[in-house]
Chains A and B, each alone.
Chain A
Amino acid sequence: MLLKNELWIAIIIFLLLFIKIGKGLKNDSLLTLIQVLLFINVVLGFIFNREGNIFSGMFYSNAVVAFQKSILSIAVFLISLLCADWLKKSPNIAEFFILILSALLGMFFMISSGNLLMFYLSLELATIPVAALANFDLEKRISSEAAMKMILSSAFSSGILLFGISLIYGATGTISFSELPNALNSGPLQILAFVFLVSAFGFKLSVVPFHLWTADVYEGSPIAVASFLSVVSKGSIAFIFLTALYKVFQPLNGVWYNMVVILALATMIIGNLFALRQQNIKRFLAFSSIAQVGFILVGMSSNAAIGLTSVTYFVLIYVFSNLAAFGVASVISERTGKENIDDYKGLYKTNPFLSWILALALFSLAGIPPTAGFFGKLFLITAGATKGNYWFITMVALNLIVSLYYYLRVVRAVFMDKNEQPIETIRGNRAVNFGLTICAAGIVLVGLVSWIYEYISKLS
């Protein structure tokens, strides 16, 4: 079954709709049901995988694509665990998951798309529900503002994307991924079209200079949504961007290499510099995730199997690390309403478990061994170095130092700074603790246990 995950997600969505229309379930049991269904979705991603395409090449799947979808499934499952505190209080839990799963469905189709039209459709499906999600805290003004920003910038980037697609069709006469590589010959019109396409990708991936919406949207939306945006959304776009660069626009390699290098450096530097000064943990994580996207672009620049492998691997690690950080932020924000880094001072005295998880997540994001982030970043940089571009790699390596500085700032607040009124001891919800433990295990094991990387490498 090529469409097994997509069908399963569709089934869950309809099931939730019926539950909502019918008598409805109590929040606790509904959430548990959803968690079980999402877990089945994760398992389903690893079995019965087949290669092939349907709908005359509109939709294809292979081992790598299946694995990439599994990464996204894992992330959504983890979000359902980590944000259990917040979700249980929400009166609209079914709607939340209907929206989030619709977006996930769109992403699945997007990664699997074999045609620019299919890609555009699924991208819209993946974006519009997220804008609705950003506004999920209906009574908060800042939330509406976030949603508005999100929908406007999405619409704008979709417009640019469509324009690019139409130019490509005009220049080559085809929009099929399999035919495009043969039709491309670096003509000026094609390059112009390609630039439009890359800017659209840039918007969704929040690559500098298309990143301006990111921090505001993260800050305004609920943490569950912000984590979905930063992990699942970014991951899926990174995957399709890989396909676009490595397969579809392979003939334009000479053009896009320089573009990716410059974008990577700009994204990393701007993301890092802005992250230095953030006070709000969500804005902080927003800029840190921009910097991480810069690192992903470093790996992408390699144009070889190692690029595909290392990016996929890194996104897997990024899922665990970033979700762990967001998870801790979500627990604290839900129980105490505190979202500032200064409020985290002295957290270790009262909440050692949360503090260690947060430290582990931040170290992984900073790329400190023995966490998986070290391996992820190192392999990305190795991939980026295949072209022998020393100054590029040096700049990337220097960015590692800057990023370490701001991650350590949070660690310092948690472990070292004194505080008269630290955050009180939080007795965590079981689902949340389970989710955080999975993340921690992922952060430690995905790196040290090398067969995960080898497995991805064999797939691609």
Chain B
Amino acid sequence: MNLLYLLGVPLITSFALLFAGNGKAVKVISLVGATIQFVLALLLLYAFRQQRLQGNFEDMIFQHNYAWFSSLNINFHVGVDGISIAMIMLTAFVVLAGVLVSWNVQKMTKEFYFLLIVLSLGAYGFFISLDLFTLFFFLEIAVIPKYLLIGIWGSGKKEYSANKLALMLMGGSSLVLVGMLGVYFAGGRSFDLLQLSQVHIPLETQKIIFPFLFIGFGVFTALFPFHTWVPDGHSSAPTAGSMFLAGISMKLGGYGCLRVATFLLPDAAKEYSYIIITLAAIAILYGAFATMMQKDLKYINAYSSVSHCGFVLLGIGMLTKTAITGAVMQMVSHGLMTALFFAVIGMIYERTHTRLVTEMSGLMKTMPFIMTILFIVGLCSLGLPGFSGFVAEMTVFMGGWQNAELGYRLATIAACMSIVVTAVYILRAVGKTAMGPLTNQGYLQLKDASWNEKLAAGLLVIGIVAIGIAPFWLDDLIKPGSEVIMQKLSQVVK
């Protein structure tokens, strides 16, 4: 299967959008585009499984390599392994759900959908790139659409948030740029991930380059103390924007930390893993406690995202196969879960025009569907078995415990404790919103979810539950990928 279809579909969709006549046409085109893309992602998953079953155990399959700037040795090199497939599936789910949820956008519909599709193009391109240059190219493509989405369609102090997000992400990508050039010159003038992974860069050089790459990508995935854009950005963004931001865009960082920083610079990853797990543990606990203090549903989910993304970094920092697999699972799981959470919050806000938990109660009576979804997503977030959150976090803890050094054990224990805090804030928020007496009489007329919202929520719930019930599917998909990374890491130990 040619991976370029994954880029072609959003590209054609966005072009078609430019010529779309009215709002209706815009929505239909985007929906068709996102659906085709979703089907393509499923086909890709199928084709990938077939290849593996037929005994194709190459690290990266469906590779295509086109010369781009040949005098600088820059190639347009794409290929996927299980980890990328998992992330592509995640993107396809979230994009389709995001398009469905935004059905009621009235203001500048065409531009809104255009930016959403461009954002998804960036994410797909990022996940299939095997060349650092193209990877960086797609990473940066996604920054400006986010800025405009928040700034134009957002709410609250949107301009401030949009600026903060754009500048912090740009800061992250500038650091990535420096790290990338470091790898380029240290690895014999090549941006190719596979070629670079064959080169052994001396430890001294690695120690200089690694912080640039890891912190740079870390900014995207809310690495403490560079997480401050997350709450503002998420809470100001329009619903689909928050879904994309938390569901996909934060995962770009995690994926980059793993695929670029850890994979290419394993020695330095080992050296610095203490710092990584410390920061990750702080993010997990800090995020959880900060969430307790929030009253706005979007802030609740945003701060809990900081906490949950901490698990991704924790998994990477633990440097065991299980932990890395868990980190990827957590990315997928959190992506689906948080997208669903923001979708539900958007639905509630559209009806009640408030996001403050204190102003809502007993909504279960008027909108049972939405509230049920809220319960599902809440339970997933606090790690109830049967949903994806449990599987992913459990895997990270297991993997973390396998690393027997004292510091790593302590970090794992600290991270485990956050689950209790999570339970407190999730149950409080969800319970207050859905249960109890319906105090505000104005809420009696509220309608339950419409078809598009049901479809979007259903799609994401399927994802969450499927992973929760049959985690081995995801596990089988990811494991070979994390084994490759582990091989690189284990060469260092001795």
Contact = CB atoms under 8 A, between A and B. Distances in A.
A397 B177 contact: yes
A405 B163 contact: yes
B147 A408 contact: yes
Nearest to B147: A408
A371 to B, nearest CB: 10
Contacts of B68: 450
Contacts of B175: 394, 397
B178 A394 contact: yes
A27 interface: no
A309 B71 CA distance: 10
Contacts of B67: 450
A416 B177 contact: no
A400 B141 contact: no
Contact of A401 (B133, B174, B178, B182): B174
A363 interface: yes
A369 B125 CA distance: 13
A316 B138 CA distance: 23
Contact of B140 (A369, A397, A415): A369
B185 interface: yes
Given A390-B208, A397-B175, A408-B166, A415 B151 contact: yes
Contacts of B171: 398, 401
A412 B141 contact: no
A415 B141 CA distance: 19
Chain B interface, >50% SS class: helix
A183 interface: no
A380 to B, nearest CB: 11
A385 B175 CA distance: 14
A415 B69 CA distance: 34
Nearest to A398: B174
B144 interface: yes
Interface residues of B, number: 36
B181 interface: yes
A400 B140 contact: no
Contact of A404 (B71, B151, B166, B181): B166
Interface in A379-411: 379, 381-382, 385-386, 388, 390, 393-394, 397-398, 400-401, 404-405, 408, 411
B163 A369 contact: no
Contacts of A378: 133, 177
A418 to B, nearest CB: 11
A404 B185 contact: no
Contacts of B306: none
A385 B71 CA distance: 16
B180 to A, nearest CB: 9
B1 interface: no
Nearest to B153: A416
Contacts of B138: 369
Interface string A112-135: 000000000000000000000000
A405 B160 CA distance: 12
A176 interface: no
A381 B181 contact: yes
A386 to B, nearest CB: 7
B159 A397 contact: no
Interface string B132-152: 010001101101100110011
Given A388-B185, A408-B166, A416 B72 contact: no
B131 to A, nearest CB: 13
Contact of A393 (B137, B152, B167, B178): B178
B144 A397 contact: no
Closest 3 CB pairs of A and B: A397-B174, A457-B71, A385-B181
Interface of A: 306, 309, 363, 368-370, 374-375, 378-379, 381-382, 385-386, 388, 390, 393-394, 397-398, 400-401, 404-405, 408, 411-412, 415-417, 450, 453-454, 457-458
Interface of B: 67-72, 74, 133, 137-138, 140-141, 143-144, 147-148, 151-152, 158-159, 162-163, 166-167, 170-171, 174-175, 177-178, 181-182, 184-185, 208, 212
8 contacts: A306-B72, A368-B143, A386-B185, A397-B177, A397-B178, A401-B171, A415-B151, A416-B162
